[in-house]
Amino acid sequence: MVSQADDLATVALAFTRAAAEIVPDGTPPSVAFEPPRNPAFGDYATNVALQLAKRARRPPQQLAMEIVARAYTLEPRLPGLLDEATAAAGFINVRLAPAYWQRGVHTILAQGEAFGRALTPSGEHVSLEFGSANPTGPLVVVQGRTLSLGDSIAKAMRFCGIDVTTEWVINDAGSQLDTLGRSLYARYRQIADPAFPFPQDGYPGSYLLPLADAARARFAGAYDTLPESDWLPAFAQFGRDALVREQQATCERFGVRFDRWQSEKELHSSGAVEAGIVALRERGLIEERDGALWMRATLFGDDKDRVVVRSDGRPTYYGGDVAYHYDKLERNDRAILIIGPDHHGYIARIKLIPAAFGKPGAIDVLIAQQITTIRNGEVVSSSKRHGDVLPLDDVLDEVGVDAARFFFVMMSADSPMTFDLTLAKEQSNDNPVYYVQYGHARIASIERNAPPALRQAAARATTLERLVAPEELALARRLAEFPGVVRSVAMGLAPHRLARYAQTVAADFTQFYGACKVLGDDFDVSAARLSLSLATKTVLSSSLGLLGVRAPDRM
């Protein structure tokens, strides 16, 4: 069966030949058909007449009309492929025949879950870092957003044939680990002595209490009379390891699995910082001042040079970043970093790193903006269990993984969002994730209720020419958009587009289902409509899967 791509290629070639014959001088024209901003103009449009008008020395509108007429003369198949081709304001707008959209439904049914997926690897290798956090407490709501964004982008990229390595950096090389150790030690001592002082700059979260109990069982008072220099490393490491395990468990529960967990401390001890410094020195970008090593960041637009190694030999935080991003770019063609809303001032310093290593523009930074969590219209900033923070796990306990994953990607990452816990739990059409999942479950129910002979006919998709109603063709058009939407998610780092698309598909199916009885008296019409329904089910399932959300068959 001829594919949609073949049909569109035939149309594009006809208009290319027509334009080349009418304007024969110079470089052959490039005729690219794209969906117009306003679908009322047609299914696809090209501006080739606007491009060639000056060379042709006639108005774009006149030239567009000539190209349309010549294309129909050159390609006798156009009347069967197009319902119409019109010239408007210099654009050529085409509306494809129903057979084009019917073939699209056939393609979806034939390819199943592979529909839209790249057949061959792109050859591009990308490092995608997201979610990275200090190992000093539980993951909180805003980290849930970065996890959802990053994992959905990774899934979309892999769907498009891109080789992605997902990475999490354990920020365990800074002073915050000592603060954790002192905080945990104080809670540990308070088990036997409630009056034991808690450090003023400590982490007061109640999440340390069970860790203190575990530390008591582990150390059994061995450090109670020893100086800080003896107990601090042990308690800092104990707390760090326990909290990293908790963070990993939360990620696993959330359906997010990382290819690489990179300890910042291990990065420093591995010699990676030295390797990065050597690479910068070879490019003449390191200067020694007062015993410290400075990167000549001003050469790349920074407002000042940056210390990468202190005078005592310890790498700075930025020095560690330089080393890690150098390591990423040695392993990959480019890197993507998704960070939280409190890192705006850091973006420029990160983006200059690849330029310093001769790969300008090789790092993209995406900021996941702040989240306001509400319940029953009131802001929620803490949980009953923890009191002082709102852990991601508590949100998952309340609304479930599916709702959280979907809600976190509904808005563009650069927009602040409100997470309505009450709405996320509703079983109504007002709840976006419920609405999309219900659409999938409804189609599964229709499929179960269809007679076996009808299911077999629908799977063979031999009566698709009966799909001619406006609601049927509108749904078929929408399904054909899926591959392009996924590509836009992968290229634009924008999973909200897929969330919105899934909602639109569910809405179009509702319109179709209300106007066109699927299991009716006419066998061929019912088979065609069931084929369209099953194609919709495939697209909804793939869309939800790329967002890390289940596609249930029953609700």
Q: What is the pLDDT of residue 288?
A: 93
**Res 1: pLDDT:** 53
Report the 10 Å Cβ neighbour count for 380.
17
> Average pLDDT, stretch 206-213?
95
Angle between helices 523-546 and 98-111 (to 10 degrees): 60
pLDDT at 399 over 80: yes
Q: Enumerate the H helices of 263-345 as residue ranges.
A: 264-269, 272-282, 317-331
What's the pLDDT at 382? 65
What is the share, in percent, of the chain residues with pLDDT greater than 70?
A: 98
Rounded to the nearest integer, the mean pLDDT of the chain is: 94
Predicted local distance difference test score (pLDDT) of residue 77 = 94
Residue type, 342: D
Q: Do domains 4-96 and 113-118+429-546 have the same CATH topology?
A: no
Alpha helices in 75-120 (DSSP H): 78-81, 98-111
Above 70 in pLDDT, residue 54?
yes
Residue scoring higher pLDDT (57 or 388): 57
Q: What's the pLDDT tens digit per position in 55-91?
A: 889 999 999 999 999 999 999 999 999 999 999 999 9
Indicate the pLDDT class of residue 31, thresholds 50, 70 and 90: confident
Question: Using one digit for the tens of pLDDT, what is the confidence trace for 230-284?
Answer: 999 999 999 999 999 999 999 999 999 999 999 999 988 888 888 999 999 999 9
- Where do the structural domains in the chain lie, given as residue ranges? 4-96, 113-118+429-546, 125-172+255-367, 176-250
Instruction: Give the chain's length.
Output: 555
- In Å, how far from its chain's centre is CA 36? 25
Per-residue confidence (pLDDT) for residue 396, from 0 to 100: 98
Give the pLDDT score at 29. 77
**Residue 521 burial by CB count (10 A; 0-12/13-18/19+): exposed, middle or buried?**
exposed
Q: What angle do CA 201, 231, 242 make, to 5 degrees?
A: 75
The mean pLDDT of 330-347, rounded to a whole number, is 89
Overall fold of domain 125-172+255-367: Rossmann fold (3.40.50)
Alpha carbons 497 and 493: distance in angstroms, whole number: 10
Residues 511-533: what's their mean pLDDT? 98
**pLDDT tens figures, 121-180:** 999 999 999 999 899 999 999 999 999 999 999 999 999 999 999 999 999 988 899 999
Tell me the pLDDT tens digit for each residue of 426-462.
999 999 999 999 999 999 999 999 999 999 999 999 9
Distance CA 4, CA 245 (A): 49
Under a CB-based contact definition with an 8 Å cutoff, are residues 170 and 262 in contact?
yes
pTM of structure:
0.92
- CATH top-level class for 4-96? alpha beta
Domain 113-118+429-546, CATH homologous superfamily name and number: Isoleucyl-tRNA Synthetase; Domain 1 (1.10.730.10)
Q: Of 61, 54, 64, 50, whose CA–CA distance to 18 is shortest?
A: 64
Residue whose tokens read 């050859």: 123
Contact 427, 492 (CB under 8 A): no
